[in-house]
Every structure is written in C-alpha cells, then in structure tokens.
C-alpha cells in the first residue's frame, strides 16, 4: 500500500472513539485560541480587505465569516477565516501554524453540513496528525529554500480535515489529497506582508474545494504523494521520507505531543509575532526581569545563535511597519527593551514601529550565527540549538542572559499554555469585537463543542448582533 493510500485510509477510518479525551480537550483549546485570533483579525486592515473581497464575491449563504455578518459559501468562509486567524501571527504553532489550517475548515464545512461538534473535533485532530507527520517527514531544505510550510505542507492537513468533514471514503480521500496537493503553495518571501496570513486562508480554500470536488467524483492521481512527479518529488527537495509520512499516524496522536521534534506539543503564543522570534524574546525578557535596565542605558545587544538570522526571522533587518516587525528578532528585542519587558499587540502598530526609540534600538541589536554552525543555512533538525544574548550597557557593564536551549529557538514558551491563560487571551482578542457577556458565552460554546449537535451553535456565538 502506498503513502497516499495509507494517509487516506487513516483519515477515512478514524473514529471519535479512537481519540483520547485529553486530545479532544486540547483541540477545543486550540480552536478557541484560533477563533479569538480570527475575531481580532476582523479589526485589522488586512482583515477588512479580505472580508471586503469575500463580501463582493458573494456565494450561497451557508457558512459565516467569524466576527462579521457575512454569510457565504464554505470555500470563501474557510478562506476568510484562515486569513483572519493568522493576521497577527498570534495563533498557535506546532509543525507550522495548525489551528488556522483546521479551525476554518471544520467550522465552515461544519456549518454547511450541520455537522456535530464531535465530527468537527475528530476532523480537526485527524488534520493535525496529517500536517504534523508530513512536516516531520519533509526534510529541512523545504523551509530553508523559501516555502512557507504552514501552507505548502498544511494544505494536506486542511484537505484531510475537509475530507473527514464530508465523510469521504478512502478512494475519494485519495482524490482529495491529489487535488489538494496540486494547490499547495506559499512563499516565505511574503513574510512580513499581508500575504503571509493569506497563505493558511488559501490552504483552507484549496482544501474545501478539493474535498467538494472529490465528493462529486473529480479524479486525481490516487498516489500523488509518492508519484514520480508528485508531492514528495516536487516539494520534498530529495530529503522527504515517505515512510515517515505515515509511520506514526495516530500512534501517538500528534496533537498530544509525541516526543518528536516537530510534534513537541503545541505552542499557544504569548507574543503576537513569528515563532522564530520567541527564543530571543524569551532571553531578553528574562534578562530584564533580573536586571531592569532602561533603554537609554543600553549600548548594544548581541545575539549569537546556532541558526542563521534570516531563519530565526525572515531577514527583516530594518522593519518599517508593525507587520514587518512581527518577523524580525531585531525588532522584537528592541521593542521589549524600549517598553521595559512588554511585547503585545500594541507593539506592532505602524506607529509603535516608527517610534524613534525603537528605530534607534534596532541599530544596537546584532544577531550573528555561531561560526561553527555556519553553512547550515536554515534551521537544521536534530542536535543542539541554542541562543545566547548579551546586553552591553553604556557604562561598560555586560549582562548575559541564560542560554536559551530550544528546538527552533522557541524558548521557554513550553508549558505556558494553562487553560486559564488561554481563556484570558481569548477574552482580550474576542473583546475587540464582542461584548463581554457574548465573549463568555462564546468561550463556553467552544469549550462545549464536543457536546454540540450542530457546529452552527458555535459560530452563532461569535457573530456580533446587528
């Protein structure tokens, strides 16, 4: 049996009863977090544009754009909600940004299909497993070359979730994977622009289309993963392991963390910026807690890391906009110093980014790759990864942060995700669109999703009154 068939069989055969309760609980938490991010996204310039386009396009009103009164077809709703959810880069990450690849698909198709909450959660968890395992199997050259793995790989996970939502059989699912694979895209060159958030939106759109087409009998290669001119050949950069795409599917469930690097549990973000900046953010935040120095005392900040600076964050040395700042460790470290340890949504407005104090501090931050790790142009799997940060004060004093040891420099955001903290984050984000009483009702509705007879009840809870 080939890789594509194995994947399809896993997707088609998965049952809610197979899923351990902690995974269901975690999926609800991730979904909640992504819904909060999408709600907040409607208030942002890029959110207004994408919802404006979707409103103009129209479509049978069977699914809704979260946080708005827009009713449209499931394809457009999934596209809009995926884009909105990623607008601040504040959504969770684990083998790419998973929640914004899955939440939009299961809510849009859930509404259309009047599916149960259990069906939505099962589809979410199955899609998570596919993305995680394919990412693990991919090899490093993929991201290193310039692919935005969240969409270029995640399209397959979104497609898995969509296929499961429509209850496709094994062969239909193989077709859906084939159609989905021919739409996988997303360039890291668009990081720091509005088009990065569009990537998961586009993946969700592609997935819903693929599943709908397959449901109606549209055909693709049944073996697109392993085909000589297929997914592994084209996206895998000759380093992809087909065996690893399926070896661990459901054993263990990737959502629970598996001990493997890319499935090391989900990071629900505390900072609204690229995960690549979180290692440096952690180092400087800890240092400032110990040594609460003021910006004007700082002569320079030196970061030495195993990774090439452009891979910690995509090469945005001199960000001009807040959106660009989200992808620049230089910028996040500078902001944290200027704002005395704080880094939140207000740090990434264009006005905040343009502050002379931040722009001045940017010049004082240096990031260099440890010479012994040079020639490994992107994050490499395995081995030790670390980040050292030193602050030199104008008085000559040198303050050295504790070394950040982390895969992918994610710092100590591990374990941050208590349920209550995620609830608070949701309340902050949803509160930008909904009244406090509705925020609480929405939170309860999402956390009760496994008991919901119809996914529409959850979406109802986050639609603002006229």
Query: Are 76 and 54 in contact, with CB atoms under 8 Å apart?
Result: yes
**What part of residues 388-427 is at the interface with a second copy (CB under 8 A)?**
none
Q: Is residue 6 within the footprint of a second copy (CB under 8 A)? A: no
Q: Please identify, using beta-carbon distances, which residue of 229 and 384 lies nearer to a second copy.
A: 229
Question: In whole angstroms, how close is the CB of 182 to a second copy at the nearest point?
Answer: 5
Question: In whole angstroms, how close is the CB of 128 to a second copy at the nearest point?
Answer: 23
From the list 315, 359, 392, 438, which residue makes contact with a second copy (rule: CB under 8 A)? 315
Residue 359 tokens, joined: 């722009």
Q: Is residue 273 within the footprint of a second copy (CB under 8 A)? A: no
Q: Please identify, using beta-carbon distances, which residue of 147 and 271 lies nearer to a second copy.
A: 147
* Helical segments of 140-291, H only: 141-145, 149-152, 154-165, 170-181, 195-215, 231-235, 242-246, 278-290
Instruction: For CA atoms 165, 30, 43, 198, give the dihedral sign.
Output: negative
Q: Is residue 191 within the footprint of a second copy (CB under 8 A)? A: yes
Burial class of residue 443, CB neighbours in 10 A (0-12, 13-18, 19+): buried
Nearest to 146 by CA among 235, 84, 227, 230: 235
Question: In whole angstroms, how close is the CB of 56 to a second copy at the nearest point?
Answer: 7
From the list 20, 58, 340, 436, which residue makes contact with a second copy (rule: CB under 8 A)? 58
Q: Is residue 231 within the footprint of a second copy (CB under 8 A)? A: yes
Question: In whole angstroms, how close is the CB of 219 to a second copy at the nearest point?
Answer: 4
Number of residues interacting with a second copy: please give it, by CB under 8 A.
60
Taking residue 69's Cβ as centre, other Cβ atoms within 10 Å add up to 11
Query: Are 200 and 150 in contact, with CB atoms under 8 Å apart?
Result: yes
Query: Are 316 and 328 in contact, with CB atoms under 8 Å apart?
Result: yes
**What part of residues 131-190 is at the interface with a second copy (CB under 8 A)?**
145-148, 151, 178-179, 181-190
Q: Please identify, using beta-carbon distances, which residue of 216 and 289 lies nearer to a second copy.
A: 216
Q: Is residue 198 within the footprint of a second copy (CB under 8 A)? A: yes
DSSP bridge partners of 366: 302
Q: Is residue 349 within the footprint of a second copy (CB under 8 A)? A: no
Question: CA–CA separation, 403 vs 390, rounded Å?
Answer: 10
Q: Please identify, using beta-carbon distances, which residue of 375 and 465 lies nearer to a second copy.
A: 375
Stated length of the chain: 466
Residue 31 tokens, joined: 């979904």
Q: Is residue 336 within the footprint of a second copy (CB under 8 A)? A: no
Question: CA–CA separation, 25 vs 20, rounded Å?
Answer: 9
Q: Is residue 40 within the footprint of a second copy (CB under 8 A)? A: no
Q: Please identify, using beta-carbon distances, which residue of 174 and 425 lies nearer to a second copy.
A: 174
Q: What does the binding site for a second copy look like in residue numbers (CB under 8 A)?
A: 45-46, 49-50, 52-53, 56-60, 73, 75-76, 145-148, 151, 178-179, 181-195, 198-199, 202, 209, 212-213, 216-221, 223-224, 227-231, 233-234, 310, 314-315
């Amino acid at each position: 049996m080939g890789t594509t068939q194995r994947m399809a069989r896993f997707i088609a055969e998965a049952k809610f009863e197979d899923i351990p309760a902690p995974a269901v609980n975690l999926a609800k938490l991730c979904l909640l977090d992504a819904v909060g991010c999408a709600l907040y996204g409607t208030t942002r310039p890029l959110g207004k544009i994408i919802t404006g386009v979707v409103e103009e396009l129209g479509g049978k009103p069977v699914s809704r754009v979260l946080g708005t009164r827009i009713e449209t077809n499931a394809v457009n709703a999934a596209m809009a909600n995926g884009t909105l959810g990623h607008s601040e880069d504040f959504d969770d990450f684990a083998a790419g940004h998973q929640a914004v690849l899955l939440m939009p698909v299961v809510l849009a198709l859930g509404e259309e299909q009047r599916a149960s909450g259990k069906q939505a959660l099962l589809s979410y968890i199955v899609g998570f497993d596919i993305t995680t395992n394919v990412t693990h199997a991919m090899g490093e050259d993929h991201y290193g070359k310039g692919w935005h793995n969240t969409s270029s790989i995640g399209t397959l996970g979104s497609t898995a979730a969509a296929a499961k939502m429509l209850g496709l059989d094994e062969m239909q699912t193989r077709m859906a994977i084939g159609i989905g694979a021919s739409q996988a895209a997303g360039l890291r060159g668009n990081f720091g622009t509005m088009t990065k958030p569009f990537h998961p939106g586009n993946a969700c759109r592609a997935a819903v289309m693929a599943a709908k087409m397959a449901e109606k009998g549209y055909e693709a290669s049944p073996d697109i993963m392993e085909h000589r001119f297929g997914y592994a050949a084209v996206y895998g950069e000759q380093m992809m392991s087909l065996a690893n795409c399926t070896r661990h599917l459901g054993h263990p469930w990737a959502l629970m963390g598996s001990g493997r690097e890319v499935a090391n549990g989900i990071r629900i973000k505390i900072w609204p910026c690229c995960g690549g900046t979180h290692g440096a953010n952690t180092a400087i935040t800890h240092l400032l807690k110990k040594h609460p120095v003021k910006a004007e005392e700082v002569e320079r900040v030196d970061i030495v890391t195993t990774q090439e600076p452009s891979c910690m964050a995509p090469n945005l040395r001199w960000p001009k906009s807040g959106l660009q700042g989200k992808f620049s460790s230089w910028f996040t470290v500078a902001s944290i110093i200027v704002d005395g340890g704080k880094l939140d949504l207000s740090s990434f407005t264009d006005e905040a980014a343009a502050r002379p104090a931040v722009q001045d501090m940017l010049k004082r931050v240096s990031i260099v790759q440890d010479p012994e790790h040079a020639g490994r142009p992107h994050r490499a799997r395995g081995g030790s990864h670390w980040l050292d940060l030193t602050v030199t004060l104008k008085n000559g004093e040198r303050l050295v942060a504790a070394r950040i040891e982390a895969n992918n420099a994610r710092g100590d955001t591990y374990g941050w995700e208590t349920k209550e903290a995620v609830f608070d984050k949701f309340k902050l984000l949803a509160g930008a669109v909904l009244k406090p009483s509705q925020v609480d009702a929405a939170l309860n509705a999402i956390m009760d999703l496994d008991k919901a007879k119809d996914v529409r009840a959850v979406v109802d809870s986050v639609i603002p009154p006229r």
